[in-house]
């Protein structure tokens, strides 16, 4: 059990979210009770309810926090010129640091993502929110949607495989998905893309 200073509201909220994330790593959300959360956190039920209305509110706020971080990482994807820089690195089999950071975020929050990506509604919501961001980069709705769903698919597969391999390897695969909508990449890179996904 964790010792908590109930006067430190920020710390308490963080500990509740951390405990809930740990529990999500081993249990479906529906089987996690408020009692199990407070037991793991070392706080009282009344303290829990000072911060969250119920378990659903906690799940919503945790989701918004982690997905907010995830989408913020894509703020670095500014325009098509940045994608061309990524393409140059990719041709040297070097992943962009932007994509490595995204993969590290997934690795850090793997318990959350392993749990939530079992929910088709969550997959769709995450993909749609990401596609809205990527549409601004590609200046094309179809390419934004294609890339968003491809990235979420890569995430899911990597998590199902137990985060097998180096972060840089999955970052290269994710980069290939990101670059595929570019006409010059489709022309010269599709064979490499196919072979990488079959590794």
Burial 61-85 (b: 16+ CB within 10 A, else e): bbeeebbeebeebbeebeeeeebee
Average pLDDT over residues 117-132: 96
* Residue 17 · residue 58 · CB < 8 Å: yes
Structure-model confidence comparison of residues 76 and 193, the more confident one: 76
Domain boundaries defined on the chain: 9-52, 60-197
Confidence of residue 140 (pLDDT cuts 50, 70, 90): confident
Question: pLDDT tens across 45-67, in order?
Answer: 999 999 999 999 999 999 999 99
Structure-model confidence comparison of residues 45 and 190, the more confident one: 45
Structure-model confidence comparison of residues 11 and 189, the more confident one: 11
- Whole-prediction pTM: 0.82
* C-alpha radius of gyration, the chain, whole number: 19
Instruction: Looking at the structure, give the CATH architecture of the domain made up of residues 9-52.
Output: Orthogonal Bundle (1.10)
Q: What's residue 79's pLDDT?
A: 62
């Amino acid at each position: 059990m964790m010792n908590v200073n109930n006067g430190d509201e920020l710390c308490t909220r963080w500990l509740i979210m951390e405990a809930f994330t740990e529990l999500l790593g081993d249990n479906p959300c529906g089987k996690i009770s408020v009692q199990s959360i407070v037991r793991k956190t070392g706080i009282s039920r009344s303290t829990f309810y000072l911060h969250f209305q119920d378990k659903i509110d906690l799940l919503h706020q945790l989701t918004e926090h982690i997905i907010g971080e995830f989408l913020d990482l894509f703020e670095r994807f500014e325009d098509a010129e940045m994608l061309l820089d990524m393409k140059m690195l990719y041709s040297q089999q070097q992943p962009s640091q932007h994509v490595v950071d995204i993969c590290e975020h997934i690795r850090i929050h793997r318990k959350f993502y392993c749990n939530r990506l079992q929910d088709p509604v969550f997959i769709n919501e995450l993909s749609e929110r990401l596609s809205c961001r990527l549409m601004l980069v590609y200046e094309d709705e179809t390419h934004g949607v294609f890339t968003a769903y491809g990235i979420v698919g890569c995430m899911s597969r990597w998590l199902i495989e137990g985060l097998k391999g180096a972060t840089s390897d999955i970052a290269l695969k994710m980069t290939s998905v990101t670059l595929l909508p570019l006409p010059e990449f489709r022309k010269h890179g599709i064979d490499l893309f196919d072979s990488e996904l079959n590794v």
